[in-house]
């Protein structure tokens, strides 16, 4: 029997609601694999940890995370901790840093044609959109030296070449995976990485561009590198999202945060967007990771069963794929989600939460995914 250790950190507001659904899905996967035991340990993080321990994450939780094979994360923060020092959000940053989970993969994908209706973008422009933002997750302005006074605040936005280099290897690996699975007519001969920076303004941006260019020339000749200023990239993503199709968007921590929420705008809801914060290169064996939706704790809808659990469930699928190399199970979870969301005309169940125009509760979506998944894993 193989034991895989998972630390469950549900967090605040909708975190525990969406986590409950992901854990039901994990049960179904476990039932289908008598040779695997998911050993789960749950703990607290964020605002609820501030309330209990006076800090957003304790050393004991960080140590548990280090001792686990993967961390499944919900969401943290909320208005009740406004002004808290340290913030609930800093608990997540400490966790990413402690695990050196430097590569944050944030896929932006219109999963099925009928979901174009959720997007504010014209259907012909958005249908078939699929790219992955690869966000640097342990450096830049988030982790540079900070100074805070009543009338002054600063964050040192600093990058070193080795941080850009290791992310470039991940971006190239992601681009290769996307290129290999793309319909042949939709891609050229080489996988593509788009690097987004502000080399026209920031010294750290010029380092980003130099280091990225050098490592692609030196080590990654099989992947085409394109540079784009991050501000115009944001505009192009909305105006013409398919310009980036089947490619990896290689970018720094701050720009990656913003560009991945823009992905939510393209799709029409953050409720569908998963992410994986990895401590290694995808496709090169299993690596440790934190699996977390792109969205936050959604305090505006929490406590009412209105949250869409799909971002958390798809984050779980990423965990199965990248930390446990359970590709078949990961793909089955994704297939089950598609079936639950798809229209009845397309053979789906059309069970959707309010952010997608539906009436289903969070738990109804979770239950439906489990039911479909059970059938898929039995087959």
Does residue 300 bind ligand NAD (CB under 6 A)? yes
Does residue 298 bind ligand NAD (CB under 6 A)? yes
Query: Which listed residue (308, 337, 348, 360) binds ligand NAD by CB under 6 A?
Result: 308
Sign of CA dihedral 134, 137, 139, 144: positive
Instruction: Please provide residue 105's backbone torsions phi and psi, each rounded to the nearest 5 degrees.
Output: -90, 120
Cβ contact 79:38 at 8 Å = no
Does residue 327 bind ligand NAD (CB under 6 A)? no
Least gap, CB of 117 to ligand IPM (angstroms): 25
Does residue 355 bind ligand NAD (CB under 6 A)? yes
CB-nearer residue toward Mn ion: 252 or 257:
257
Query: Which listed residue (106, 130, 179, 295) binds ligand NAD by CB under 6 A?
Result: 295
Least gap, CB of 142 to ligand NAD (angstroms): 13
For residues 214-273, which are near ligand IPM according to CB under 6 A?
257
Does residue 69 bind ligand IPM (CB under 6 A)? no
How does 126-155 read in b/e, with b if 16+ C-beta sit within 10 Å? bbbbbbbbbbbbbbbbbbeeeeeeeeeeee
CA distance 248 to 169: 11
Query: Which listed residue (21, 257, 342, 355) binds Mn ion by CB under 5 A?
Result: 257
Does residue 92 bind ligand NAD (CB under 6 A)? yes
CA distance 316 to 290: 10
Scanning the chain, the segments in alpha helix (DSSP H) are 14-32, 47-53, 59-67, 89-98, 123-126, 161-181, 203-219, 230-239, 253-267, 310-322, 327-341, 362-378
Interface size with ligand IPM, residues (CB under 6 A): 5
Token pair, residue 367, equals 């239950």
Cβ contact 178:105 at 8 Å = no
Residue 93 touches which of ligand IPM, ligand NAD, Mn ion, none (Cβ within 5-8 Å per kind): ligand IPM
CA distance 15 to 11: 5
Does residue 92 bind ligand IPM (CB under 6 A)? yes
CB-nearer residue toward Mn ion: 135 or 250:
135
Active site members = 142, 198, 231, 257, 261
Least gap, CB of 140 to ligand IPM (angstroms): 11
Residues near Mn ion (CB under 5 A): 257
Residues of this chain that bind ligand IPM (CB under 6 A): 89, 92-93, 257, 294
């Amino acid at each position: 029997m193989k034991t895989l250790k998972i630390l469950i950190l549900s967090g605040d507001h909708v975190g525990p609601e969406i986590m409950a659904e992901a854990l039901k899905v994990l049960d179904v996967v476990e039932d289908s694999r008598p040779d695997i035991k998911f050993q789960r340990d749950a703990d607290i993080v964020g605002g609820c940890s501030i309330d209990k321990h006076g800090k957003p994450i304790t050393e004991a939780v960080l140590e548990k995370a280090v001792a686990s094979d993967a961390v499944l994360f919900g969401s943290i923060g909320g208005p009740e901790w406004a002004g808290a020092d340290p913030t609930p959000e800093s608990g997540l940053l400490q966790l990413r840093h402690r695990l050196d989970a430097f590569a944050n993969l944030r896929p932006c994908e219109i999963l099925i044609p009928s979901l174009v209706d959720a997007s504010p973008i014209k259907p012909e422009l958005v249908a078939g959109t699929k790219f992955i933002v690869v966000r640097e997750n342990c450096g830049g302005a988030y982790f540079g030296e900070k100074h805070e006074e009543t009338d002054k605040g600063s964050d040192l936005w600093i990058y070193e070449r080795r941080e850009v280099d290791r992310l470039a290897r991940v971006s190239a690996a992601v681009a290769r995976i996307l290129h290999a699975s793309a319909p042949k007519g939709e891609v050229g001969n080489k996988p593509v990485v788009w690097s987004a920076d502000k080399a026209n303004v920031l010294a750290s941006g010029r380092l980003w561009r130099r280091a990225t260019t050098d490592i692609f020339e030196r080590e990654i000749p099989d992947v085409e590198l394109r540079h784009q200023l991050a501000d115009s990239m944001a505009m192009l993503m909305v105006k013409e999202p398919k310009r980036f199709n089947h490619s990896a968007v290689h970018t720094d921590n701050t720009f990656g945060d913003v560009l991945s929420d823009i992905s939510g705008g393209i799709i029409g809801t953050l409720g569908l967007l998963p992410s994986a914060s990895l401590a290694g290169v995808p496709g090169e064996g299993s690596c440790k990771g934190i699996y977390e939706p792109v969205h936050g704790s959604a305090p505006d809808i929490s406590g009412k069963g209105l949250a869409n659990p799909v971002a958390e469930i798809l984050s779980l699928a990423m965990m199965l794929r990248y930390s446990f190399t359970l590709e078949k199970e990961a793909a089955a979870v994704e297939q089950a989600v598609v079936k639950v969301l798809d229209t009845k005309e397309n053979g789906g169940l059309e069970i959707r939460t309010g952010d997608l125009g539906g009436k289903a509760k969070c738990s109804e979506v979770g239950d439906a995914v489990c039911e479909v998944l059970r059938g898929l894993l039995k087959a």
